[in-house]
């Protein structure tokens, strides 16, 4: 099942730089692993914001929640999830 996930990160302004750097490094490693597994096939940065729009491929809502809640930046995120289905006018639907 595909999901569009809009993630906005709000790190505390008083978070020590070394702590923020550690969280970001762990986040990147986890995100790359999910991409290699095919669970996170698309990620786009929103220009000018600490935000991304991503497509996740999870078996169900529970798996998506598990994937998202394990993100190291999860405690500092506002996340909006939109489940997706194929549009009948897409090329893939015509096959």
Q: What is the pLDDT of residue 35?
A: 98
Q: How many CB atoms lie within 10 A of CB 31?
A: 18
Give the pLDDT of residue 95: 66
Report pTM: 0.91
Res. 91 pLDDT band, cuts 50 70 90: confident
Averaged pLDDT of the chain: 96
Q: What is the mean pLDDT of residues 55-61?
A: 98
Task: Find the radius of gyration of the CA atoms of the chain.
Answer: 15
Please write down the long-range contacts of 28-34, taking CB distance under 8 Å and 24 or more positions apart. 30/70, 30/71, 30/72, 31/71, 34/67
Angle subtended at Cα 87 by Cα 84 and Cα 92, rounded to the nearest 5 degrees: 105
The more confidently predicted of residues 91 and 2 is 2
Domains of the chain, CATH where assigned: 2-94 (3.30.70.1060)
């Amino acid at each position: 099942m595909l999901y569009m996930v809009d993630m906005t990160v709000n790190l505390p302004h008083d978070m020590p730089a070394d702590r923020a750097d550690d969280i970001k490094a762990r986040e990147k490693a986890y995100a790359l692993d999910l991409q290699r597994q095919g669970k996170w096939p698309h990620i786009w940065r929103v220009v000018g914001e600490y935000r991304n729009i991503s497509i996740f491929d999870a078996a169900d809502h529970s798996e998506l929640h598990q994937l998202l809640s394990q993100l190291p930046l999860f405690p500092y995120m506002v996340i909006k999830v939109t489940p997706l289905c194929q549009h009948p006018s897409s090329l893939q639907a015509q096959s």
